[in-house]
Structure 1
Amino acid sequence: MKKAIVFLANGFEEMEALGTVDILRRGGIEVTTVSITTNTVVMGAHNIPVTADTTLDNLCQGINSPAYDALILPGGMPGASNLNDSEAVKEALLGQYREGRIVAAICAAPMVLGGLGLLKGRNATCY
């Protein structure tokens, strides 16, 4: 079964995150929502609290963490900026990219990929 992570940072765009999770799960992809904070409850851009499956700290503690087929960043502000401020998220994205696996970003979140140089020579749209 394919596996994906959707990272959640405070200020994420709810529709971009939860719509993505919904569609992927309906398609048979195992999706793990990961809070980049120390709390599993993450506040969306429109003050909707969402409980993530786990936190980034807990996920990184696994000695043999399974490889994920895709890492996904929803947009929203200040969610995209908060993702961009997370060194752990950026390290995960770089590792994923180097291994030739999918990194994806929606709306404002491509700023994270662009800042890492992952969009050089590629077409991308960012709000």
Structure 2
Amino acid sequence: MADLNNIRVLMLATDGFEHSELFDPRQALLDAGVQVTLASIKTDPIQGVKNDSEPTEMITPDMTLDDVDTEDFDALVLPGGLANPDTMRLQERAIEIVEEFMDDDKIVAAICHAPWLLVEADVVDGRRVTSWPSVRTDLENAGADVVDEEVVVDGNLITSRNPGDIPAFNKALIEALEKVGTEAVH
């Protein structure tokens, strides 16, 4: 396994993030030695939910979207939930962050409703992706090749459908980061 201690991952979320889609990948990354930074609209604690309605624990972001310099990070993780990506896709800086990661061919991992940000950033044309069912038409309309699989890896882009896919999502994310870690050594 590659040493991931120097890998830095940015997560974007705001109120209404699906609890497991933020906390589970975050913990998997931390357990692998990755440095994880959470950015949001402001640095006040944000509210997680389960099944898009039941409040769960809150988490305090490390920085605001405006403070993000994408050059400082190796990968971007976008948790889902219904309200979280719907709010985030209206944040100009959040969309710029997605565009910058994609332009730099860095890893971008989005789960559930989070691919809405990929649509908004116009980065899925010709890409093979998956998502929560209600987002698939938006992805198709944006030119994506949409499939129904637990995890889809298309180059630097990793997508999954729902919380049940988190183990496969985390595995694909860690494997992609290991390649980055190996390339950084050579």
TM-score (norm 1): 0.87
Contact in 2 for aligned 1:75/1:106 (Cα 8 Å): yes
1:13 paired to 2:18: yes
Of Structure 1 and Structure 2, which has the larger fraction of its residues in helix?
Answer: 2
Aligned residue for 1:22?
A: 27
Q: Report the Cα offset of residue 66 of structure 1.
A: 4.8
Count of aligned pairs between the two proteins: 122
**Amino acid aligned to 1:49:** M
Q: Report the Cα offset of residue 120 of structure 1.
A: 1.2
Moved more, 10-19 or 114-123: 114-123
**In the TM superposition, what are the counterparts of 1:1-127 in structure 2 within 5 Å?**
1-36=6-41, 38-45=42-49, 46-47=54-55, 48-57=57-66, 59-60=67-68, 66-127=71-132
Contact in 1 for aligned 2:16/2:48 (Cα 8 Å): yes
Q: Report the Cα offset of residue 49 of structure 1.
A: 1.8
Q: Extract unaligned runs of 5+ from structure 2.
A: 1-5, 133-186
Moved more, 115-124 or 24-33: 115-124
Distance 1:98 1:77 in 2: 26
In structure 2, relative to structure 1, the CA distance for the partners of 1:56 and 1:117 (3 Å cut) is closer
Q: Extract unaligned runs of 5+ from structure 1.
A: none
Q: Report the Cα offset of residue 56 of structure 1.
A: 2.2
More contact order relative to length (CA 8 Å, sep ≥ 6): 1
**Amino acid aligned to 1:55:** T
**Amino acid aligned to 1:3:** R
**Amino acid aligned to 1:50:** I
Question: Over aligned residue pairs, what C-alpha RMSD do you find?
Answer: 1.6
Q: Which has the larger radius of gyration?
A: 2
Distance 1:115 1:8 in 2: 16
SS in 1 for 2:72: coil
TM-score (norm 2): 0.61
